Chain A
Amino acid sequence: MLIPCPHCGLRPSEEFVPKGLAEAPRPALGGRAKPDGPAWQNYLHLRDNVADHSHEYFHHALGCRSWIVVHRHTLTHEVTGATMAADFWKADKPAKGAKDAKSPTAETAEDGQ
């Protein structure tokens, strides 16, 4: 597999360490989200495991040390792009399959209080 690092260009996947799906941003610092509420649970634990386009964190550990979000189709392994993690939650997310319903703004919102 080849990963298009936004900083280094197309590099072999052996240079990267995966972390998991980037499905929700970290709840805001100093926020009042409850540990068992959806904001923290979505960030830490709940993953949809889609058979579709997905967004996954990868660390270019043997390269530029950037954390990036790789856009990959989980059925075909097709990699359609990658975004710097720093930019991922800021910008409008690139098109992805059934996952578009969950918007970043909704995810950042504090749950319940």
Chain B
Amino acid sequence: MTASLPQPMRLREGGLINRNRPLTFTFDRRVYQGYEGDSLASALLASGVKLFGRSFKYHRPRGVFSAGPEEPSALVEIDQGKAERDPNHRAPMVELYDGLETFSQNHIGPLGLDLMEANDLISRFLPAGFYYKTFFFGGLQAWYRFYEPIIRRAAGLGRPPMEADPHHYDKIYTFADTLVVGGGIAGLTTALSLARAGQSVLVCDERDRVGGAALWQGERFDGQSGAAYGDHLVAEIEAAGGRVLPRTTVFGVYDGGIYGALERCQDHLAKADRRVHTARMKYHRIQADRVVYATGAIERSVGFMGNDRPGVMLASAGHAYLGRYGVRVGQQPTIFTTNDGGYAVAAALAATGADVTLLDARADSRLEAEGVRVLRGVHATKAHGRMGLHRVDYGGAQSGSLTTDALLVAGGWNPAVHLTSHTNDRRQSKPVYDADLRAFLPPELVDSEAASGSVTGALGTADCLASAAAAAAKFGGAALDTPAVDEAVAVSAPKELWAVPGAGQAAFLDLQNDATVKDVGLAAQEGFRSVEHMKRYTTLGMATDQGKTSNVNGLALLAAATGREISAVGTTTFRPPYTPVPMGAFAGHHRQRDYEPFRYSPVYDWAEANGATFVEAGLWMRPSWYTQAGEADWLESAVRETRATRDQLGITDVSTLGKIDIQGPDAAEFLNRLYTNGWKSLPVGKARYGLMLREDGFVFDDGTTSRLAECHFYMTTTTAKAAAVMAHMEFVHQSAWPDLQVAFASVTDQWGGLALAGPKSRDCLAALFPELDVSNDGMPFMGVIETTWKGHTARLFRISFSGELAYEVAVPADVFDAFWREAMAAGAQWDITPYGLEALNILRIEKGHVTGGELDGRVSMDDVGLRKMVSTKKDFVGKAMSRRTAFSDPDRVKMIGLVATEADERIIGGGIVFDSKDGPFDHTTMLGYVTSVAAFSPLKDRSIALAFIKNAADYHGRTLYVVSHVHNRAIIEVTAESPHFYDPKNEKVTG
């Protein structure tokens, strides 16, 4: 182990640290030591470090300002390396472990000599709104080329990791009768009372151990320390069946009793102790009937010159570092207070032998603290010491200057009302300003909410315990004995002092965004009277800390500058998250391959073993083409598959088509209302092609539906629209025609399906079902036969998508793989060729069949030449709206076929169609657009396409030009013709 390293600011005793377990860590590659129980901030302070980082805008040197989640300044990066790098950790919230590596942020060059610090020297010229006002010079081009790159380099907090997050995250649903947010003594007391009354209680506390401010304030409960009493309450809560989650931040309150919480499970462990394949963090979606906000309060500062210097911090922080971590933040500290609270800190520091001076802004205070020099009616006016505080000037009743190495500011307390306001929309109210307490209190709580502890505005332990009992009583908690408390902390509401007289540009309010007292004045002067506008103009209250230490001072100064009451100005809107949450926690395991489920056909394994390359089609993995030895690219494979199908026999997997089983006495009537064509006359044992419209008259989907029995139909939909068609059917049935006696269920996953296509498909089908008559008479076009294959139901359909003589056969999914293999064996004598989506696409484009490329939600029946599909004898979904006059506008684009003139030129998908090669190739001259392309059609010996153009009928036989503006802008000459390139009289499919 390394020899022990100096910790000059650490006291010999006191605090909740284990001096027998030293831990070694680094900050900016320098090695330090702390103890078990330390935070990064406390260990660095103990080691005498004052400079933690640089500020965002002016790059001013900054130290640590707080001891909690509100920390605006001491942001560090943990680890380095492209994937592990994790920026913007708040040093007081980072638990120390052996081997922790940390780095300061936001500087170019060493932390002590930041090249960007020039911003601070010219800060008087960089007021709020500077960027908005200045960078118009030179126009937009100058902005993009010059200003923006420079500002981007200067802006931003920390550096993001450059590779995918390697950690695991979990999402879990968590339930409780009552959620208690905050494990301070008040929250735990309320929780125990409710748990004893039989409620299932969940306590979430964001720190590594419960107890809240009692961990360091020094008061005793029934003779026990705050830490011991907190542990005792936890044991009692757990004994009563409740749960307590430490390191768990409730970051958001949502409708319906839903709360978002982040549990940090592993970050506090040394790397060797972290469990692999176990979540780094868990995102809890908590469902609770009731909530108790025991979120505490956050101390605030006062605006004066240099109040951001390293060594200036909140008084509560100085007290916490002393009480919890045994770190004295200064040998010669100065307290600047506006209320009684500062005296307890001063006394505690004086008791360690420090030379303490207290500046009390109130002239009339009579309080004393043992061993502390008190100056009354006095306020700090300026802190000196760029890299570390060494002197403070004061003014008021007397003025002067003090040598000091720490300045602790006690400006009063802001109840942490954030969570109580997340559902303000619901209750139509906002936090309420209490002029006596000089603090914003939670808005009026609804029946399912209660507040416990200092969030209610309670000052001091006795009042907090009283509020805890009141919260418990609201929810029917059991009576508890109140512990005897020796009040170590004197408390009072603060004197109203948001900024000292004369505070200006270097008097900071928001340390994270470098928003100053002067900026707020400037915003008011320029007319930004709304607190929301002031926030955006000055950036006060933005970024990772969301102004936890600065908002109230800022809006109070805005109120003063605009001559209004603080209550009239109000707060900005608090929104989730309370503190930053990694995106990975929201994603959980739903990332990369696990982002969505994959759906696999029953013959996926066969296809994979036989050279298939797959494409994602929705959630499905479908074979795109099957590569054979010697084939150079996908097109060569797809063209071979196309030719084999046209010449001999092809087989393709159609299991992904949507399949819906429809039954009931009104099934035919229901289909009649869904489809544009008639269904009542369809005989049993026949299939029919059907077209569905949306209710607004546009084409929705197409497919074939077969009548298996009088009251039993089997519908197929396109793969892409399967879910939408099902939801649509359920909608019209349930919302418009609930009286129809029809029921339907998706059976997509229950049936596997294959298509046999090509001149030999009948022979192959006969080989598979030798006892059946599948001749043209026995099974005519659109014929359907339900039979068995090896004892399993098999449904045979004579339908064709390829334009060839073709059959589809469906068998139950669990025997489909065996059936497919048998079909391959039966077809071997005709060189049966499996074909993928690419060949399927060439075949159907040659035939002029439409798919999703054409049915894109913008086309009418006329546009795709399907007007003949419309029954005039009945009404159906979309009929009324399909008669809109706009649908018969002659300017509407309609489907047409295109054939490339040159054999070696490919038409480009998405290309725009023009009738002149002279240009301009823009919207003024465009005729239409290409929807589907066959890169090569064996039929035409060149590239063909389907397109939609204006006045399509007039262009048959004419030369047109296709230009893709997003490809290479080459002008491809094409000839327009009917989109039914192949067998327009349907002789193949019916023969």
- Give the contacting residue for A36; candidates B254, B696, B732, B884; CB below 8 A: B884
What are 5 A-B pairs with beta-carbon distances under 8 A? A26-B736, A35-B880, A67-B730, A85-B735, A86-B734
- Give the contacting residue for B731; candidates A19, A33, A44, A84; CB below 8 A: A19
Residue of B nearest to A17 (CB): B727
Residues A79 and B428 in contact, CB atoms below 8 Å apart: no
- Other contacts beyond A26-B736, A75-B428, A89-B735: 19, CB < 8 A: A2-B258, A12-B258, A12-B287, A13-B256, A26-B735, A27-B880, A29-B673, A30-B874, A35-B880, A35-B883, A43-B695, A44-B696, A44-B881, A75-B425, A76-B425, A77-B426, A78-B426, A79-B256, A86-B735
A40 to B727, CA, bound (A): 21
Interface residues of B in 865-891 (CB under 8 A from A): 874-875, 880-881, 883-884
Residues A86 and B426 in contact, CB atoms below 8 Å apart: no
Interface residues of A in 7-27 (CB under 8 A from B): 12-13, 17, 19, 22, 25-27
Whether, in the assembled complex, B255 has its beta carbon less than 8 Å from a beta carbon of chain A, the answer is yes
**Per-position 1/0 for B707-742, Cβ under 8 A of A:** 000000000000000000001001110111110000
Given A1-B255, A35-B884, A40-B881, decide whether A88 and B735 contact each other with a Cβ distance below 8 A: yes
Interface residues of B in 122-155 (CB under 8 A from A): none
Interface residues of B in 663-712 (CB under 8 A from A): 673, 695-697
- Give the contacting residue for A1; candidates B256, B428, B735, B736; CB below 8 A: B256
Whether, in the assembled complex, B460 has its beta carbon less than 8 Å from a beta carbon of chain A, the answer is no
Q: Which residues of B contact A77 (CB under 8 A)?
A: 255, 425-426
Q: Which residues of B contact A86 (CB under 8 A)?
A: 734-735, 738
**Per-position 1/0 for A55-99, Cβ under 8 A of B:** 001010100011100000001111100001111110000000000
Q: Count B-side interface residues using an 8 Å CB cutoff.
A: 29
Most buried by A among B425, B736, B875: B736
Nearest CB on B from A106, distance (A): 18
Residues B730 and A25 in contact, CB atoms below 8 Å apart: no
Residues A59 and B730 in contact, CB atoms below 8 Å apart: yes
A44 to B878, CA, bound (A): 11
**Per-position 1/0 for B14-29, Cβ under 8 A of A:** 0000000000000000
Residues A40 and B880 in contact, CB atoms below 8 Å apart: yes
Interface residues of A in 24-53 (CB under 8 A from B): 25-27, 29-31, 33-36, 40, 43-44
- Give the contacting residue for A85; candidates B254, B734, B875, B880; CB below 8 A: B734
Residue of A nearest to B874 (CB): A30
Residue of B nearest to A29 (CB): B875
Whether, in the assembled complex, B377 has its beta carbon less than 8 Å from a beta carbon of chain A, the answer is no
A71 to B955, CA, bound (A): 54
Residues A30 and B734 in contact, CB atoms below 8 Å apart: no
Nearest CB on B from A101, distance (A): 22
Residues A59 and B727 in contact, CB atoms below 8 Å apart: yes
Residue of B nearest to A74 (CB): B425
Q: Which residues of B contact A85 (CB under 8 A)?
A: 731, 734-735, 738
**Per-position 1/0 for B737-764, Cβ under 8 A of A:** 1100000000000000000000000000
Nearest CB on A from B447, distance (A): 13
List chain A positions with a Cβ less than 8 A from chain B: 1-2, 12-13, 17, 19, 22, 25-27, 29-31, 33-36, 40, 43-44, 57, 59, 61, 65-67, 75-79, 84-89
Q: Which residues of A contact B737 (CB under 8 A)?
A: 29
A29 to B733, CA, bound (A): 13
Residues B883 and A1 in contact, CB atoms below 8 Å apart: no
Residues B428 and A76 in contact, CB atoms below 8 Å apart: yes
Q: Which residues of A contact B673 (CB under 8 A)?
A: 29
Whether, in the assembled complex, B246 has its beta carbon less than 8 Å from a beta carbon of chain A, the answer is no
Residues A57 and B875 in contact, CB atoms below 8 Å apart: no
Residues A25 and B875 in contact, CB atoms below 8 Å apart: no
Whether, in the assembled complex, B371 has its beta carbon less than 8 Å from a beta carbon of chain A, the answer is no
Residues A66 and B734 in contact, CB atoms below 8 Å apart: yes
A35 to B884, CA, bound (A): 6
Q: Which residues of A contact B731 (CB under 8 A)?
A: 19, 57, 59, 67, 85
Most buried by A among B428, B696, B880: B880
Nearest CB on B from A1, distance (A): 5
Whether, in the assembled complex, B938 has its beta carbon less than 8 Å from a beta carbon of chain A, the answer is no
Q: Which residues of A contact B696 (CB under 8 A)?
A: 44
Q: Which residues of A contact B875 (CB under 8 A)?
A: 29-31
Q: Which residues of B contact A17 (CB under 8 A)?
A: 727
Nearest CB on B from A53, distance (A): 14
A30 to B52, CA, bound (A): 76
A44 to B697, CA, bound (A): 11
Nearest CB on B from A64, distance (A): 10
Residues B258 and A1 in contact, CB atoms below 8 Å apart: yes
A101 to B593, CA, bound (A): 52
Whether, in the assembled complex, B395 has its beta carbon less than 8 Å from a beta carbon of chain A, the answer is no
Nearest CB on B from A10, distance (A): 8
Nearest CB on B from A109, distance (A): 15
Residues B695 and A44 in contact, CB atoms below 8 Å apart: yes
Residue of A nearest to B285 (CB): A12
A67 to B732, CA, bound (A): 9
A76 to B425, CA, bound (A): 5
Q: Which residues of A contact B256 (CB under 8 A)?
A: 1-2, 13, 79
Q: Which residues of A contact B198 (CB under 8 A)?
A: none
A93 to B881, CA, bound (A): 27
Q: Which residues of A contact B425 (CB under 8 A)?
A: 75-77
- Give the contacting residue for B727; candidates A29, A35, A61; CB below 8 A: A61
Whether, in the assembled complex, B580 has its beta carbon less than 8 Å from a beta carbon of chain A, the answer is no
Q: Which residues of A contact B881 (CB under 8 A)?
A: 35, 40, 44
A30 to B736, CA, bound (A): 13
Nearest CB on A from B585, distance (A): 17
Interface residues of B in 223-268 (CB under 8 A from A): 254-258
Residues A67 and B734 in contact, CB atoms below 8 Å apart: yes
Q: Which residues of A contact B874 (CB under 8 A)?
A: 30
Residues A65 and B255 in contact, CB atoms below 8 Å apart: no
Residue of A nearest to B254 (CB): A1
Residues B735 and A67 in contact, CB atoms below 8 Å apart: yes
Nearest CB on B from A104, distance (A): 13
Residues B880 and A33 in contact, CB atoms below 8 Å apart: yes
A27 to B427, CA, bound (A): 38
Nearest CB on B from A92, distance (A): 17
Nearest CB on B from A111, distance (A): 11
A90 to B479, CA, bound (A): 52
A38 to B257, CA, bound (A): 40
A74 to B426, CA, bound (A): 10
Most buried by A among B287, B734, B874, B883: B734
Nearest CB on B from A66, distance (A): 7
A5 to B433, CA, bound (A): 41
Residue of A nearest to B876 (CB): A29
A36 to B696, CA, bound (A): 11
Residue of A nearest to B887 (CB): A35
Residue of B nearest to A59 (CB): B727
**Per-position 1/0 for B287-326, Cβ under 8 A of A:** 1000000000000000000000000000000000000000
A1 to B426, CA, bound (A): 12
Q: Which residues of B contact A67 (CB under 8 A)?
A: 730-731, 734-735
A44 to B874, CA, bound (A): 21
Nearest CB on B from A39, distance (A): 9
A57 to B728, CA, bound (A): 12
Q: Which residues of B contact A75 (CB under 8 A)?
A: 425, 428
Q: Which residues of B contact A34 (CB under 8 A)?
A: 880
A59 to B727, CA, bound (A): 8
Residue of A nearest to B882 (CB): A35
Residue of B nearest to A45 (CB): B696
Q: Which residues of B contact A35 (CB under 8 A)?
A: 697, 880-881, 883-884
**Per-position 1/0 for B881-919, Cβ under 8 A of A:** 101100000000000000000000000000000000000
- Give the contacting residue for B735; candidates A57, A65, A78; CB below 8 A: A57
Q: Which residues of B contact A79 (CB under 8 A)?
A: 255-256
A22 to B734, CA, bound (A): 13
A43 to B727, CA, bound (A): 18
Top 9 A-B residue pairs of the complex, sorted by shortest distance between their CB atoms: A86-B738, A2-B256, A85-B735, A26-B736, A67-B734, A77-B255, A30-B875, A1-B255, A76-B426
Q: Which residues of A contact B257 (CB under 8 A)?
A: 2
